[in-house]
Amino acid sequence: MVSNIIRDDLVCQIETIIEEIHKESFQTDDDLLGWLDFYKEVDLPSIENVQLLNIGIFNGLSGILILFCAYYKINPNKYTFFRKKLLKTIYLLMLDEKEFTHGYAGNISYLYAISLYFNVFKDEESDLAIKNALNCDYKKLFLYKRLDIID
């Protein structure tokens, strides 16, 4: 179990980040990608030790994924408030290989993790939808629509 002190510390730090994200309009991809710089300035030394998910912080993107999954596990009642912006932010970052150094193999695995963790897809649809979405821009748009993060 996560100790109450660590839990309270995580909630406080994560809520600060959520407040910053909620203030942003994220009108363009650059707005979303620019937020990664804000994340890099945040000190979350205890998040790896908490092991809320069985993946490490390999770069900013996986850190963002852990961050929000951690928040969801700690405080799920507030999660719905920022769900769409969260998914859009992470998804756009994942599709930019300059920001995600592990390339498309990593993209697929993280998209799969998100889809399962947040129940975006039914289990039997996850693999196919993610692989199709990464094949071309049209299918990336298909995944956006499936994620319900664009009109």
Query: What are the tens digits of pLDDT across the range 7-19?
Result: 455 445 555 555 5
CA distance 105 to 12: 33
Torsion of CA 142, 144, 147, 151, to 10 degrees: -100
How does residue 20 score in pLDDT terms, banded at 50, 70 and 90? low
3-state secondary structure (DSSP) of residue 3: coil
CA distance 93 to 38: 14
**Token duo for residue 130:** 């993610």
H helix runs in the chain, sequence order: 4-23, 29-40, 47-50, 60-74, 83-95, 103-117, 123-133, 137-147
Angle subtended at Cα 97 by Cα 95 and Cα 100, rounded to the nearest 5 degrees: 90
Helix axes 4-23, 83-95, angle to 10 degrees: 80
54-105: per-residue pLDDT in tens? 233 333 444 455 455 545 554 555 544 445 445 555 555 444 444 443 444 3
CB-CB contact of 65 with 26 (8 Å): no
CA distance 18 to 64: 11
Domain range annotation of the chain: 4-147
Cα 29 vs. chain centroid, distance in angstroms?
Answer: 15
3-state secondary structure (DSSP) of residue 123: helix
106-133: per-residue pLDDT in tens? 444 455 455 444 444 444 444 454 444 4
- The pLDDT of residue 23: 52
How does residue 39 score in pLDDT terms, banded at 50, 70 and 90? very low
